[in-house]
């Protein structure tokens, strides 16, 4: 999520530097520590929070380089939220790269099923469908105003 979207949200954390959440502003993973400017205690670790769908995208040929996967998972780590129909534990077991760094992966079981994901929201917006009540109204307005993700005017 871009910082502008986070700022439109009602719960934007005030302790984050202005550009830390804009994924386009971080060229290298090491740059993240510099961007935090000492705002975080040394005991804090930075991990990529993702759904099981993103984890499974590591197996899509040409989408991720082995070097990127090794950096993300090996040096930083993942927090993976499960989704219905996914088995991230099995996926990690079946991937040599992920299995090697399995101690850097935290699996979160989603006990209350909720199939809302950023992928679903982007799909709705591309199709001009409503995503109201799925994310913050300010975030939706920002996405539509800036025509992000191929969003179309909402058909009501």
- For 135, the token pair is 């994310």
Mean per-residue pLDDT for 109-115?
A: 78
The predicted-structure confidence for 56-108, as pLDDT tens digits, reads as follows 999 999 999 999 999 999 988 999 988 778 899 999 999 999 999 999 999 99
Fold designation for 3-114: Rossmann fold (3.40.50)
What is residue 58's predicted lDDT score, i.e. its pLDDT? 94
What is residue 35's predicted lDDT score, i.e. its pLDDT? 60
What is residue 14's predicted lDDT score, i.e. its pLDDT? 61
H helix or E strand, kind and range, residue 4: helix 3-8
User: In the chain, which segments carry CATH 3.40.50.620?
Assistant: 3-114
Pick from 2-16, 44-58, 78-92: least confident: 2-16
Helices (H), 24-146: 29-36, 52-57, 66-69, 88-94, 96-100, 118-126, 137-145
What is residue 95's predicted lDDT score, i.e. its pLDDT? 94
């Amino acid at each position: 999520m871009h910082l502008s979207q986070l700022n439109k949200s009602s719960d934007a954390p005030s302790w984050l530097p202005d550009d830390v959440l804009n994924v386009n502003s971080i060229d290298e993973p090491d740059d993240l520590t510099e961007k935090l400017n000492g705002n975080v205690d040394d005991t804090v670790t930075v991990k990529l929070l993702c759904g099981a769908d993103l984890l499974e995208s590591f197996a899509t040929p040409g989408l991720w380089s082995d070097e990127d996967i090794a950096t993300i998972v090996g040096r930083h780590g993942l927090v993976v939220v499960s989704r219905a129909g996914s088995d991230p534990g099995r996926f990690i077991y079946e991937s040599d790269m992920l299995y090697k760094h399995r101690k850097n992966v935290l699996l979160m079981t989603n006990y209350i099923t909720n199939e809302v994901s950023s992928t679903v929201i982007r799909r709705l917006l591309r199709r001009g469908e409503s995503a109201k009540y799925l994310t913050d109204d300010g975030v939706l307005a920002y996405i539509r105003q800036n025509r992000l993700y191929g969003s179309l005017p909402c058909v009501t």
